[in-house]
Amino acid sequence: MCGVAWCGETVVATRLPDVTPEHTIGLLATRTGATQGAPPGAVRHAIQSMIALLEGEKEDLSTIACDFGRAGSFAEKVYAIARAVPPGATSTYGAIASEVGDKSFARRVGQALGRNPVPIIVPCHRIIGADGKLVGFSADGGVEMKLRMLEIEGAQIGSTPGLFDNLPLATKPGR
């Protein structure tokens, strides 16, 4: 079970599935002070959109109102760039670092995404290593969860197979 915490019409935290629903609820309550209740209209719509995305629909979550708390301006820039990566696509930590201003900030980008208060809405699972490796996912389930979410969205991971990839190795012609 995923979890969502809100204040008014604004999402303040989300959780990907944990070991048990009670654990998810407990972590959200500890982090945000949230209590269980019926969500207001905008949050209910956000929840429906997240469910649709996790069921494989190409749902755009970039318009969901979020409060990033004390994330800081660097993290907020990172989150805005990550939110622009559409379902089924990926970007890299280095590409986001370049957009923020310096490719050498790739590690800082990873750290900001590791503290992402609203996974799914800020799709940190769509951000991969420069070599196409699935790295840096701090949610329960780690990289396997990241891969599962990318598979649901239909993302192409790794290089696309080439036309001649399955042919036997050729030998050098004799002279």
Of 2, 7, 66, 124, which is the active-site residue? 124
How many CB atoms sit inside 10 A of residue 111's CB?
A: 15
Q: How far apart are CA 41 and CA 35, in angstroms?
A: 17
Alpha helices in the chain (DSSP H): 21-32, 41-54, 73-83, 93-100, 106-114, 142-153
Contact 24, 15 (CB under 8 A): yes
Catalytic site residue 124? yes
Q: How far apart are CA 120 and CA 139, in angstroms?
A: 11
Dig out the tokens for 172 from the structure: 């050098």
Beta strands 127-128 and 91-92: pairing type?
A: parallel
How many CB atoms sit inside 10 A of residue 51's CB?
A: 13
Hey, which residues are catalytic here? 124
